[in-house]
Amino acid sequence: MTVGVVPGDAVATDLLVEAIEAAGESARVGAPGTLQDAKPSTYVTVGEEALLALADERPTAPILPIGVGPGIESPNGSDAAAAVSSALDGAGVERPHPHLTVVLDGEPVDTALMDVMLVTTEPARISEYAIERDAERLSSVRADGVVVATAVGSHGYVAAADGPALVVGTDAVCVVPIAPFHTSVPSWVLEPDDVALSVLRDEGDVSLLVDGHDRGTVGRDARLELRTDGSIRLLCVPEGRPAYP
Q: Which of 42, 81, 45, 44 is nearest to 62 (CA)?
A: 42
| Average pLDDT of span 154-177 | 83
| Average pLDDT of span 66-85 | 86
C-alpha torsion 68→73→77→80, nearest 10: -130
Domain 100-229, classified CATH 2.60.200.30, yes or no: yes
Q: How many residues does the chain have?
A: 245
For a pLDDT cut of 70, what percent of the chain falls above it?
A: 96
CA distance 107 to 101: 10
| Average pLDDT of span 161-179 | 84
What φ, ψ does residue 98 adopt, rounded to 5°? -65, 145
What φ, ψ does residue 124 adopt, rounded to 5°? 65, 20
- The predicted pLDDT at position 88 comes to 93
> Distance from CA of residue 222 to its chain's centroid?
23
| Average pLDDT of span 21-39 | 91
Where do the CATH 2.60.200.30 domains begin and end in the chain? 100-229
pTM (2 d.p.): 0.85
2-91: what fold? Rossmann fold (3.40.50)
Is it the case that residue 176 has pLDDT exceeding 70? yes
Q: Which of 191, 208, 33 is nearest to 109 (CA)?
A: 208
What φ, ψ does residue 6 adopt, rounded to 5°? -105, 105
Where do the CATH 3.40.50.2300 domains begin and end in the chain? 2-91
Is it the case that residue 172 has pLDDT exceeding 80? yes
Element (H, E) at 177: strand 173-180
Partnered with residue 224 across adjacent β-strands are 104, 197
Is it the case that residue 55 has pLDDT exceeding 60? yes
Confidence of residue 186 (pLDDT cuts 50, 70, 90): confident
Question: Where do runs of H (alpha helix) occur along 6-95?
Answer: 13-22, 32-35, 48-55, 80-88
Q: What pairing do the DSSP bridges indicate for beta strands 223-236 and 195-201?
A: antiparallel
CA distance 187 to 175: 6
Q: Which of 68-77, 155-164, 227-236 shows the highest mean pLDDT?
A: 227-236
| Average pLDDT of span 104-114 | 92
